């Protein structure tokens, strides 16, 4: 999970954020002014500053926000001057948009705000529908508006060309003011809330932003999406009363609180109408006490009432946004906020700490308990350095004991302060209005630094409003209760709206907000401190203050505006950008419960990691190898002292029997293992079955098994076992275990057994071939030099594959062991060098380098309807029709209730929702129409359309473990890594990727030691891309979404991103889908499954000259650093059955015959992806040592401490 | 070797080629051929010599057979020390195979413990594991195990099942991350030149200041004479499993990776370089006192003298 952030504002208006991976509050240093409120989404944070303007902070990303402006230049032919600017009066503008209706000359384009900048000047787009145009980008037509072609014909009377210019949003990671013309919003905003990103994915990055003005009006920001992060304008939304506060969830929930204390719920929010249509009123949770605050998530609503009680709304979902009733919860809070995954954050009313609601899950949305987030702020330097203990002892932040012990009389403390300050702090002079703190510098209590200035922001009504009713006429008072801090005094500036924070710890004493001196709020838990009021009053004496401030003032830590033991006093929290869920491991509570961590134990890994390279470790490895040689190598013929018994594991399973009719039958299953002298195991697998009352068995030698594959099956726990023979037949031994656990036990055992019998252990080698099944399981195979041998390579049905933990959609590797994967949810993962994970336990899994991995994918079902003259479209089909609820093929019935996640590993994480992003488009309700099932569907109903369908999707999530670490935050759709040749000592390895939005990216800082790299470099393109590959000589090829190919010029170590794209037309009438580049070969696959070879590629002309067809029936190609060609074939016929998705190896590939001769079929049936780009093992004569040998140290000890020859006499006595 | 797990494997599968010869004084019906065997370094003599016994019984009369015991160059071999320790201690300079003499008479009661059956070995092995865990985890881990888990450890050793043994032993090797290691390191130091059986004292893997203790720190504390002074050549070898780890090797790592299955780090200290003259002294070394079978009673008492 990528680190995301929780945003907070403290009572002084300073904005902080806390990373889910972090352990301290980081101040948003950029903020020049104080903020009142913030509301965060994952990509940005909005805020209202104390100047009452709205500010936007777009989080920097390696992907810039670029917007492509385009305009068309139109010309008409006339007999005299040829094509010219002279158009007919009825024609379009000479400069227009694509429709011709809008006049837009080049100079009419302006930057939307000062946050944007132009990337370059206007230029002509010379590509047209994936192909280059001939002259200056002109496309021709008979007349406007008509079809354009790139070729000029006799009938071409008009022409046009497209001009492009990019602008870029530049104010990343800084607060940029949103310009707000007065007529839009007459009165300043007092509340703001963003959300709505789950309503629709189009346009990308769309957000709903709601705001409340001081007069209680509600406003909606129109047009916020990725390419227009600022939105375009405010629109007023009429409300039935004066609104106090509003909350917008990630989905379609929007609730607001009225000044009178009731709540209103927005109705009619849909993907077409994100603003909603009307309000419905909901009563306050408590009849006497009005609501003051509301917070909504996806399926959850929380509210606060004036008495600070917390309420949870029962029964809220998208069908019933109003819910059913209120439930009172424990805790007293002043602010509450719902973040992602319906997680809840709140600010305590007493201690002003941020609380996280623990135990919130989809099934238990109300959670279990409040837990205070207790981490230091990044400014608390003196704090942490001065006394780690105090931090640790904590809980200490907010515990009653600490307070009690530190209640000391002011006088004492004052004197103490003076003395200690004088002794230990740097004393400087101070301005009269400075605030004096009470730094007590004794060892037990952390140093305290003075507060340098009086915060303005707290005086604003936005904070006090929450409590103003509660403490109507409290006099100014201070809490002597907290920490060693004494109330120090500050001189209140005479200007209105300023506040003094009196006590370092608890009491915040806001002053008059436009009224008489009326401290509107202070802490409720200070009732017992009333007695000190008098003292406080005294302390407020100006004389006293000045005398104090002349002595003790700013310390060195002046730029740190915090007292060290001062609790952070928070005013506002927003979790909208904070992705945590009930499984997240957060380090936010550490200082509270160190003792509870004792239970966590960690074996070995610590020493492993720290000791990885130490000399002593090397020495032990070398000497053990030496010892083995000395004591065992010459005596292998000796008998073992302990006989290796046969070890049998038995079980019952179901077996997909070998003869027709195929069906599952109950069998007994047994694995007999023998251990060899080296500890290697070998074994035989037996399947005992009944054949017409006769007992029979089937067996397989473990050392002949080539792969064990978990099979996708929603009801049974099945796996398949292949041998070379069964790979040829495309008919594995298929087995089903009773439970998932049982299956995993067997798979782990069999897998370990297979690896033992082949002497394979530890992580995959750098040369390993990686592949992925349609289930997302990851397999590796260790290539031998014979694999690419000529003329007799190892048949690829004999390759042994073993599973690696994790779940991926694709994986790419290179020759130095850098491996990247991409999940179904487009998350990028880097291989950590470990092995095991998933169901591999204990010794079959490395102790470190295994991490939790999650993946999310959507399950689709279709609702089908047929038209009849009486009722129109209904769910009553013809008898011959498909199921009215079905899968894509229509052959299987799939209803919302009977549809299960793809396997037991997956769990639903969302509800069924209409999917509008179907190819062909949909109407407003998500329907697609067609003349009949099954034909091509389109989004608008035509006259001849008698059937329609609607696609529903539901997300499910898988959690597993494996040797993978996430590379946030950009979602990828393709990645490629330079296959380094054995000789080349490339330090930084070029790695290119395509984001799932089609941006081309180049990863910086990738080396064999840091395979994750450091940051992305964005490479500009004129259109989205979908596939990319880099060859051994840094030649970068890519495929654009329109199906054409591009070659990137001048890519070199000096210029890792190259300089420009060269357009390469696709093979005629084909749209390319994927590209792979080896040493010199460039191969592509088109959308019809054809495999193409780029002819005529030379070092001087790397773009090549033409495409040559190699084969059809290809889904994916991987070209390795030896120019070896491997594919996933679409369909392969075996002797028993057909398999779809089969690994195939091109035989006969040679420098003179780079296209090869024929295919050799390997493992198959459900394979999605393969990469051979790590295998640079040259086939020639020299046999490379096997992998296990290669990793062993040289068997040479520097000081042999025992010498057999010399001491030979010792044995004779 | 990329992974520390390979060390575990190498330690487990260490073998000493041994030739067993029947003592010439034994009465036989015909001449006894020597018997050759690969002995696991981590096991115990009486546990792995059933074949040897069977081999020699074939040439002997039943009435001449008493309890079998072993001797190397005049030293009776204590079966309750792991085989690898016996070898490193007494025979590290020998030409392989290690030549062991088999006796069926005159059991040296003063030197050796009786071992009528493998259940005695099991009792000894399990008590060592318990003693080690008392040092490492105040016995918490071993006490949390079930009877069958104990059995699994023992069966793993008895049947030479690495995976079976380590599946359980893994738990005994865990420790709280924040403590940086075990409470105390279970170790025994054997000295060829000493009368005492071995040194065993309390020693922590991490110093009070938080520094990691190394093998050198341990040796300095237990036997300062073992370490060479500056500039001097090495006087002793510090041998574990037949290898000489560097003195800067962290003790905690050694305990996790080079302990015997009984969870003790058995360290042999012998002269360097051993000369043939010195090695003959071994024979004249007076017999050492035998430790009691169950060692767990006096856990925390150094066993010197």
pLDDT at A592 exceeding the cut of 50: no
pLDDT at A670: 87
**Which pLDDT does position A1118 carry in this prediction?**
95
Residue of B93, B245, B253 lying closest to A611 (CB–CB): B253
- CA of residue A905 relative to chain centroid, distance: 20
Query: How many CB atoms neighbour CB A61 within 10 A?
Result: 15
pLDDT 10s digits, B236-271: 788 999 999 988 889 999 999 999 999 999 999 877
Locate all alpha helices (DSSP H) within A346-434, ordered by sequence: 381-386, 388-392, 400-405, 410-424
SS3 call for A777: coil
Q: Is A623 at the interface with chain B, CB within 8 A?
A: yes
For chain B, the domains span 14-103, 120-284
CA of A1027 to nearest chain B CA: how many angstroms apart? 35
Query: pLDDT tens for residues A125-184?
Result: 887 776 777 777 888 888 777 777 777 777 778 888 889 899 999 888 888 988 876 666
Which site among A599, A604, A615, A841 would you substitute to test the B interface, given the most B Cβ atoms closer than 10 Å to its Cβ? A604
Any chain A CB within 8 A of the CB of B33?
no
Of A41-50, A1074-1083, B203-212, B282-291, least confident by mean pLDDT is B282-291
What value does the mean pLDDT take over residues B215-223? 88
| Whole-number pLDDT of residue A346 | 93
The domain over range B120-284 is classified in CATH as 3.40.710.10:
no
ipTM attached to this prediction: 0.85
Per the structure block, which two tokens stand in for A1133? 């016929």
Same fold: A646-761 with A985-1164: no
Please determine whether the domains at B14-103 and B120-284 fall in the same fold group of CATH. yes
Report yes or no on whether pTM surpasses 0.90.
no
| pLDDT for position B155 | 86
**Per-residue confidence at B101, pLDDT binned at 50, 70, 90?**
very high
Give the C-alpha separation, A198 to A202, whole Å: 10
For residue A206, the distance in angstroms to the closest alpha carbon of chain B comes to 45
Binned at pLDDT 50, 70 and 90, residue B273 comes out as: low
* Angle between helix B118-137 and helix B147-158 axes, rounded to 10 deg: 120
Most confident of A281-295, A518-532, A871-885, A941-955: A281-295
Query: How large is the average pLDDT for residues B45-65?
Result: 86
Helix pair angle (A542-551, A410-424), 10° resolution: 30
- Least confident interval from A508-517, A818-827, B87-96: A508-517
Is B191 within 8 Å of B199 (Cβ atoms)?
A: yes
Task: Identify the weakest region by mean pLDDT among A134-138, A277-281, A707-711, A1103-1107.
Answer: A134-138
Which of A85-89, A894-898, B212-216 is predicted with the least confidence, judged by mean pLDDT? A85-89
Closest Cα in chain B, distance from residue A367 (Å)? 30
The confidence score (pLDDT) of residue A631 equals 87
Could you write out the DSSP letters of every residue in A603-635? ESHHHHHHHTT-HHHHHHHHHHHHHHHHHHGGG
At A490, which helix (H) or strand (E)?
none
Residue A831 φ then ψ, to 5°: -70, 135
- Tell me the chain B residues in contact with residue A646 when contact means C-beta distances shorter than 8 Å: none
Residue A256: its pLDDT value, please? 95
Q: String of b and e for A939-956 (b: at least 16 CB within 10 Å)?
A: bebeeebbbbbbbbbbbb
Say how far apart CA A830 and CA A591 lie, in whole Å.
Answer: 32
- Mean pLDDT confidence for A732-747: 88
> Average pLDDT of A599-618?
49
Q: Is residue A551 predicted with pLDDT exceeding 80?
A: no
What pLDDT is recorded for position A369?
A: 86
When CB atoms are compared, the residue of A601, A639, A645 closest to B159 is A645
Other residues' Cβ atoms within 10 Å of the Cβ of residue A451: 23
Architecture of domain A646-761: Roll (2.30)
pLDDT value at residue A781: 94
Complete edge-to-edge strand list for the sheet that includes strand A810-813: A810-813, A819-822, A828-831, A964-966
Beta-carbon separation of A607 and B97 below 8 A: no
- Would the CB atoms of A639 and B1 count as touching at under 8 Å? no
* pLDDT above 90 coverage of chain A, percent: 23
Distance separating the N- and C-terminal Cα atoms of chain B: 41
What is the mean pLDDT of the segment spanning B147-172? Answer: 86
Mean pLDDT across chain A: 76
Chain A residues with CB inside 8 Å of B13's CB? 678-679
B175: pLDDT confidence band, cut at 50, 70 and 90?
Answer: confident
Number of other residues whose CB lies within 10 A of the CB of residue A881: 16
- DSSP class of residue A948 equals E
Do the chains contact at B15 and A763, CB–CB below 8 Å?
A: no
Residue B267: partners with Cβ closer than 8 Å, 6 or more residues away:
B187, B188, B189, B190, B215, B218, B219, B238, B239, B240
Kindly state whether B118 is in contact with chain A, defined as any CB-CB distance less than 8 angstroms.
Answer: no
Is the pLDDT score of B214 beyond 70? Answer: yes
Q: Do B256 and A842 touch (CB under 8 A)?
A: no
Q: Which residue from A minimizes the CA distance to B96? A: A631
Q: Give B175's contacts in chain A (Cβ within 8 Å).
A: 601-603
- B282 contacts chain A (CB < 8 A): no
With contact defined as beta carbons under 8 Å apart, do A256 and A322 qualify?
A: no
pLDDT digits (tens, 9 = 90+) for A624-635: 888 888 888 888
CATH architecture of A35-61+174-348: 7 Propeller (2.130)
> If we measure between CA atoms, which residue out of A632, A975, A663, A618 comes closest to residue A829?
A975
Tokens 């769990």 — which residue? A907
Q: Are strands A1000-1004 and A1015-1019 parallel, antiparallel or unpaired?
A: antiparallel
Query: pLDDT digit string (tens) for A846-884?
Result: 767 888 899 999 999 988 888 887 788 887 777 777 788
Residue A462 pLDDT greater than 70, yes or no: no
Type and span of the H or E element at A75: strand A66-78
The answer to whether A616 and A855 have CB atoms below 8 angstroms apart is no
**Shortest alpha-carbon distance between residue B256 and chain A (Å):** 7
- Each domain of chain A, given as residue ranges in start order, spans 35-61+174-348, 68-169, 381-566, 646-761, 855-960, 985-1164
Interface A-B, measured as beta-carbon pairs within 8 A, has a size of: 183
Mark yes or no for CB contact A631/B16 under 8 Å. yes
HEC profile of A450-469: CCCCCCCHHHCHHHHHHHHC
CB < 8 Å from A in window 83-102 of B? 92-97, 99
**Residues of A with Cβ-Cβ distance to B178 under 8 angstroms:** 597-598
- Residue A1128's Cβ-side half-sphere holds a number of Cα atoms within 13 Å equal to 20
User: Does A611 have pLDDT greater than 60?
Assistant: no
Give the pLDDT of residue B26: 80
Residues above pLDDT 70, as percent of chain A = 76
* pLDDT reported for residue A672: 81
pLDDT in tens, B14-40: 999 999 999 888 877 788 889 999 999
Write out pLDDT tens, residues A224-235. 998 899 998 899
CB-based contact A1175:A1122 (threshold 8 Å): yes
Q: What is the pLDDT of residue A485?
A: 39
Cβ separation B167–A843 shorter than 8 A = yes
Question: Given the DSSP bridges, would you call strands A325-338 and A176-177 parallel, antiparallel or unpaired?
Answer: unpaired
What pLDDT does residue A427 have?
36
Cβ neighbours, 10 Å, residue B148 = 9
Please, are residues B70 and B108 in contact by the beta-carbon 8 Å criterion?
no
Q: Which of A666-670, B20-24, B196-200 has the lowest mean pLDDT?
A: B196-200
The burial class, CB within 10 Å (0-12 / 13-18 / 19+), for A319 is exposed
Higher pLDDT, A418 or A1: A1
The pLDDT of residue A183 is 62
Residue that is written with structure tokens 């009333």 in the block:
A530
Predicted local confidence at residue B131, as pLDDT = 94
pLDDT of residue A1125: 94
> Check: CATH 2.130.10.30 for A985-1164?
yes
Residue A678's closest chain B neighbor by CA?
B13
**Right CATH number for B14-103 from 3.30.360.10, 3.90.1150.10, 3.30.450.20, 3.10.20.620?**
3.10.20.620
């Amino acid at each position: 999970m990528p680190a995301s952030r929780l945003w907070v504002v403290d009572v002084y208006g300073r904005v902080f954020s806390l990373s889910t991976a972090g352990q301290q509050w980081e101040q948003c240093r950029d903020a020049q002014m104080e903020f009142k409120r913030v509301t965060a989404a994952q990509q940005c944070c909005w805020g209202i500053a104390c100047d009452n303007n709205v500010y936007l902070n777009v989080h920097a990303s390696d992907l810039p926000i670029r917007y492509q402006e385009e305009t068309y230049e139109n010309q008409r032919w006339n007999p005299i001057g040829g094509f010219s600017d002279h158009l007919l009066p009825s024609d379009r503008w000479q400069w227009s948009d694509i429709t011709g209706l809008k006049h837009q000359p080049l100079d009419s384009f302006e930057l939307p705000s000062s946050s944007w900048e132009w990337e370059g000047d206007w230029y002509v787009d010379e590509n047209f529908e994936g192909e280059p145009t001939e002259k200056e980008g002109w496309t021709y037509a008979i007349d406007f508006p008509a079809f354009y072609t790139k070729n000029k014909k006799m009938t071409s009377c008009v022409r046009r060309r497209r001009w492009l210019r990019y602008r870029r949003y530049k104010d990343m990671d800084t607060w940029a003011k949103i310009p707000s013309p007065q007529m839009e919003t007459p009165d300043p905003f007092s509340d703001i809330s963003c959300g709505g990103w789950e309503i629709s994915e189009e346009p990308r990055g769309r957000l709903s932003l709601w705001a409340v003005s001081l007069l209680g009006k509600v406003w909606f920001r129109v047009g916020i999406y990725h390419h227009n992060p600022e939105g375009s304008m405010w629109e007023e939304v009429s409300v039935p009363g004066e609104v106090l506060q509003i909350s917008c969830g990630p989905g379609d929930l929007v609730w607001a609180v009225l000044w009178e204390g009731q709540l209103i719920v927005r109705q009619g929010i849909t993907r077409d109408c994100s603003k909603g249509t009307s309000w419905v009123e909901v009563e306050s949770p408590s009849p006497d006490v009005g609501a003051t605050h509301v917070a909504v998530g996806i399926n959850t609503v929380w509210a606060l009432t004036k008495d600070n009680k917390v309420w949870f709304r029962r029964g809220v979902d998208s069908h019933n946004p109003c819910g059913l009733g209120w439930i009172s919860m424990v805790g007293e809070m002043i602010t509450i906020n719902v973040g992602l995954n319906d997680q809840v954050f709140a600010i305590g009313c007493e201690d002003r700490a941020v609380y996280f609601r623990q135990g919130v899950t989809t099934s238990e949305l109300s959670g279990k308990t409040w837990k205070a987030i207790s981490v230091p702020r990044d400014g608390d330097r003196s704090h942490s350095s001065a006394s780690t203990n105090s931090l640790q002892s904590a809980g200490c932040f907010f515990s009653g004991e600490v307070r009690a012990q530190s209640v000391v009389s002011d006088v004492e403390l004052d004197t103490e302060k003076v003395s200690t300050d004088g002794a230990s702090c740097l004393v400087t002079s101070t301005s009269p209005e400075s605030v004096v703190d009470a730094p007590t510098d004794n060892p037990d209590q952390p140093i305290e630094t003075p507060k340098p200035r009086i915060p303005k922001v707290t005086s604003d009504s936005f904070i006090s409003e929450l409590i103003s009713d509660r403490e109507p006429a409290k006099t100014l008072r201070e809490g002597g209760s907290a920490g060693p801090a004494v109330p120090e005094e500050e001189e209140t500036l005479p200007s209105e709206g300023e506040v003094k924070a009196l006590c370092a710890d608890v009491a915040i004493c806001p002053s008059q907000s436009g009224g008489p001196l009326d401290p509107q709020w202070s802490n409720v838990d200070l009732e017992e401190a009333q007695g000190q009021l008098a003292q406080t009053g005294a302390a407020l004496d100006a004389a006293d203050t000045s005398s104090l401030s002349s002595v003790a003032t700013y310390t060195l830590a002046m730029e740190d505006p915090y007292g060290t033991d001062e609790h952070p006093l928070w005013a506002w929290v927003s979790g909208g950008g904070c992705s945590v869920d009930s499984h997240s491991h957060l380090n936010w509570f550490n200082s509270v419960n160190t003792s509870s961590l004792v239970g966590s134990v960690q074996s070995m890994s610590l020493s492993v990691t720290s000791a990885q390279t130490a000399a002593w470790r090397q020495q032990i490895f070398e000497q053990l190898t030496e010892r083995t040689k000395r004591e065992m190598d010459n005596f292998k013929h000796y008998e073992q002292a302990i006989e290796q018994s046969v070890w049998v594991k038995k079980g019952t399973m179901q077996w997909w029997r070998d003869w027709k009719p195929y069906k599952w039958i109950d069998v007994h299953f047994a694995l007999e293992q023998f251990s060899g002298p080296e500890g290697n195991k070998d074994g035989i697998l037996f399947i005992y079955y009944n054949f017409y009352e006769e007992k029979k068995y089937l067996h397989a030698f473990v050392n002949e098994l080539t792969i064990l594959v978990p099979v996708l099956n929603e009801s049974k726990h099945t796996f398949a076992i292949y041998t070379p023979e069964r790979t040829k037949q495309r008919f594995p031994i298929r087995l089903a275990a009773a439970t998932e656990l049982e299956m995993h036990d067997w798979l782990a055992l069999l897998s370990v057994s297979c690896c033992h019998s082949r002497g394979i252990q530890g992580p995959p080698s750098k040369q390993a071939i990686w592949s992925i099944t349609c289930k997302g399981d990851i397999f590796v195979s260790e290539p031998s030099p014979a694999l690419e041998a000529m003329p007799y390579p190892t048949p690829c049905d004999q390759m042994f594959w073993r599973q690696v933990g994790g779940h991926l959609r694709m994986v790419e590797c290179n020759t130095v062991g850098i491996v990247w994967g991409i999940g179904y949810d487009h998350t990028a993962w880097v291989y950590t060098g470990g092995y095991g994970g998933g169901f591999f336990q204990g010794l079959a899994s490395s102790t470190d380098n295994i991490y939790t991995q999650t993946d999310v994918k959507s399950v689709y079902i279709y609702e089908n309807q047929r038209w009849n003259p009486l009722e129109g479209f209904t769910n009553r089909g013809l008898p011959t029709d498909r199921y009215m609820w079905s899968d894509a093929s229509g052959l299987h019935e799939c209803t919302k209730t009977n549809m299960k996640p793809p396997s037991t590993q997956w769990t639903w994480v969302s509800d069924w929702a209409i999917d509008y992003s179907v190819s062909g488009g949909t109407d407003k309700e998500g329907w697609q129409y067609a003349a009949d099932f099954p034909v091509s569907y389109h989004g608008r109903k035509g006259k001849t359309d008698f059937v329609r369908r609607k696609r529903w999707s539901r997300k499910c999530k898988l959690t597993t473990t494996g040797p993978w670490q996430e590379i946030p935050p950009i979602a990828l759709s393709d990645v490629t890594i330079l296959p380094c040749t054995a000789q080349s000592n490339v330090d930084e390895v070029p790695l290119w990727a395509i984001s799932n939005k089609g941006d081309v990216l180049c990863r910086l800082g990738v080396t064999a030691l840091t395979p994750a790299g450091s940051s992305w470099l964005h490479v500009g393109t004129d259109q989205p891309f979908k596939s990319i590959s880099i060859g051994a000589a840094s030649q970068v090829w890519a495929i654009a979404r329109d199906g054409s190919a591009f070659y990137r010029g001048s890519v070199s170590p000096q210029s890792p991103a190259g300089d420009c794209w060269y357009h390469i037309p696709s093979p005629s009438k084909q749209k390319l889908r994927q590209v792979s580049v080896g040493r010199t070969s460039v191969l592509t696959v088109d959308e019809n499954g054809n495999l193409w070879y780029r002819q005529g590629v030379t070092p001087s002309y790397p773009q090549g000259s033409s495409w040559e067809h190699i084969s059809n029936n290809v889904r994916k190609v991987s070209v390795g650093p030896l120019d070896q060609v491997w594919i996933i074939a679409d369909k392969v016929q075996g002797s028993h059955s057909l398999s779809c998705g089969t690994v195939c190896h091109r035989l006969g590939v040679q420098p003179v015959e780079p296209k090869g001769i024929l295919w050799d079929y390997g493992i198959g049936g459900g394979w999605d992806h393969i990469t051979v780009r790590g295998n640079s093992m040259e086939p020639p004569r020299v046999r490379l040592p096997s992998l296990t040998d290669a990793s062993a140290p040289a068997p040479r000890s520097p000081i042999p401490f025992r010498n057999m020859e010399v001491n030979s006499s010792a044995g004779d006595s | 070797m990329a992974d520390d797990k390979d060390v575990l494997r190498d330690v487990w599968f260490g073998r000493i080629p041994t030739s067993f010869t029947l003592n010439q004084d034994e009465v036989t019906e015909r001449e006894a051929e020597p018997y050759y065997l690969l002995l696991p370094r981590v096991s115990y003599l009486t546990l792995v010599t059933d074949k040897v016994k069977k081999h020699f019984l074939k040439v002997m009369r039943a009435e001449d057979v008493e309890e079998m015991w072993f001797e190397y160059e005049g030293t009776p071999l204590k079966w309750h020390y792991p085989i690898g320790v016996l070898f490193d201690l007494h025979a590290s300079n020998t030409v392989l195979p290690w030549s062991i003499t088999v006796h069926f008479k005159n059991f040296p009661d003063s030197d050796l413990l009786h071992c009528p059956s493998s259940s005695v070995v099991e009792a000894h092995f399990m008590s060592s594991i318990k003693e080690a865990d008392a040092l490492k985890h105040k016995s918490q881990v071993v006490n949390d195990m079930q009877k069958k888990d104990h059995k699994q450890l023992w069966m793993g050793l008895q049947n030479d099942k690495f995976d079976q043994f380590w599946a359980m032993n893994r738990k005994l090797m865990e420790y709280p991350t924040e403590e940086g290691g075990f409470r105390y390191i279970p170790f025994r130091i054997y000295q060829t030149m000493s009368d005492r059986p071995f040194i065993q004292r309390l020693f922590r893997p991490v110093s009070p200041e938080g520094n990691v203790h190394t093998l050198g720190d341990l040796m300095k504390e237990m036997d300062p004479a073992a370490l060479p002074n500056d500039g001097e050549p090495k006087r002793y070898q510090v041998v574990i499993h037949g290898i000489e780890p560097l003195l800067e090797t962290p003790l905690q790592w050694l305990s996790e990776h080079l302990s015997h299955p009984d969870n003790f780090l058995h360290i042999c200290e012998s002269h360097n370089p051993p000369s043939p003259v010195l090695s003959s002294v071994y024979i004249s070394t007076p017999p050492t006192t035998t430790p009691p079978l169950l060692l767990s009673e006096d856990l925390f008492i150094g066993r010197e003298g």
